[in-house]
């Protein structure tokens, strides 16, 4: 099935334009998701831990689960952003409408779910940081930066989910208004007769048959006149008048 223009994409096989590609709003959002993910897990992994009593503890109120959560969603978001950017590049080359639909649904589901996880992470890290007693300034900027960019990531991933939803809705509308029949390759259909009509086509009688029919009509019209004339002549003959 031809995937030209399906689900908000261009026609399959169209030449790739790198400038137009990087200017797409969805591609820009993907790049921001990638950048924010690097900042989140980079800030926590670099200076999110401090050594106390020969043991590394998380700066978020010494809750290692908070650090692990921030690093985990950041790393997965980083890998997912790379994958979706590659998918955006290949989206124009997808000739199958079903393949495009599956990609859009995956994008919609994952982006919406990850926006929710970043919201949970933002609340989790903020709550843990508010309970933290800061003894010195080590790692403060990093942990606060991770919180800030977790908040920003909520909107970037939600934006990706919104664009994916718009694509999906456009695909549904295109499918609803698409013709459900295939055109006749000949370009037309034959005449369909009524149920009570015979299949035999009407044909005009040949010229000879028409002429014979017309002669029979004239003979039928002239025959009474001839009979009347014969009776008149017969009567005149009886009267010794041989006009006839």
Residue 77: other Cβ atoms inside 10 A: 25
For residue 242, the model assigns a pLDDT of 45
Query: Would you list the DSSP string of 41-82?
Result: HHHHHHHSEEESSSSEEETTTT-HHHHHHHHHHHHHHHHHHH
Question: Residue with structure tokens 């008048």?
Answer: 241
Contact 64, 48 (CB under 8 A): no
pLDDT at 2 over 60: no
Please write the tens of the pLDDT for every residue from 162-205.
999 998 888 877 665 454 434 444 444 544 545 554 554 445 55
- Predicted confidence at residue 229, as pLDDT, reads 60
User: Exposure string (b/e) for 142-157, b if CB count within 10 Å is 16 or more?
Assistant: bbebbbbbbbbbbebb
| pLDDT of the residue at 236 | 54
CA distances from 90 to 9, 25, 39, 100, 130 (A): 10, 16, 27, 10, 44
Maximum separation of any 2 CA atoms in the chain, in Å: 165
pLDDT band for position 157 (cuts 50, 70, 90): very high
Of residues 233 and 58, more confidence is placed in 58
Q: What is the pLDDT of residues 27-69, one digit of tens each?
A: 999 999 999 999 999 999 999 998 888 888 999 999 999 999 9
pLDDT over 80 (residue 5): no
More confident residue, 34 or 227: 34
pTM above the 0.95 mark?
A: no
Task: Out of 109-113, 215-219, 227-231, give the one with best mean pLDDT.
Answer: 109-113
Quick check: 153 pLDDT over 50? yes
Write the pLDDT tens digit of every residue in 70-93: 999 999 999 999 999 999 988 878
What proportion of the chain, given as a percentage, has pLDDT over 90? 46
Q: How far is CA 190 from CA 187, 197, 198, 244, in A?
A: 10, 15, 15, 65
Q: Is the pLDDT of residue 219 over 90?
A: no
Whether the pLDDT of residue 244 is over 60: the answer is no
Instruction: Tell me the two tokens of residue 200.
Output: 């035999």
DSSP state at residue 12:
T
Q: How far apart are CA 181 and CA 161, in angstroms?
A: 33
Per-residue pLDDT tens over the stretch 91-143: 878 777 888 889 999 999 999 999 999 999 999 999 999 998 877 778 899 99
């Amino acid at each position: 099935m031809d995937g030209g223009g399906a689900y908000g994409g261009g026609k399959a096989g169209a030449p790739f334009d790198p400038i137009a590609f990087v200017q797409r709003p969805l591609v820009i959002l993907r790049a921001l998701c990638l950048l924010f993910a690097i900042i989140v897990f980079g800030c926590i992994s670099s200076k999110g831990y401090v050594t106390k009593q020969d043991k590394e503890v998380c700066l978020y109120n010494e809750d290692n689960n908070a650090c692990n959560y921030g690093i985990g969603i950041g790393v997965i978001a980083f890998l997912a952003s790379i994958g979706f950017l590659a998918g955006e590049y290949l989206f124009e080359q997808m000739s199958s409408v079903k393949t495009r639909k599956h990609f859009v649904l995956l994008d919609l589901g994952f982006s919406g779910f990850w926006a929710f996880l970043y919201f949970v992470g933002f609340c989790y890290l903020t709550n843990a940081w508010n309970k933290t007693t800061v003894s010195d300034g080590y790692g403060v900027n990093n942990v606060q930066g991770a919180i800030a960019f977790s908040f920003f990531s909520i909107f970037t991933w939600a934006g990706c989910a919104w664009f994916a939803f718009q694509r999906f809705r456009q695909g549904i509308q295109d499918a609803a208004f698409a013709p459900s029949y295939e055109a006749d390759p000949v370009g037309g259909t034959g005449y369909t007769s009524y149920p009570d009509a015979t299949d035999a086509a009407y044909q005009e009688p040949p010229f000879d048959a028409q002429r014979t029919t017309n002669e029979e009509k004239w003979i039928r019209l002239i025959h009474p006149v001839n009979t009347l004339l014969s009776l008149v002549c017969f009567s005149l003959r009886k009267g010794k008048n041989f006009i006839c």
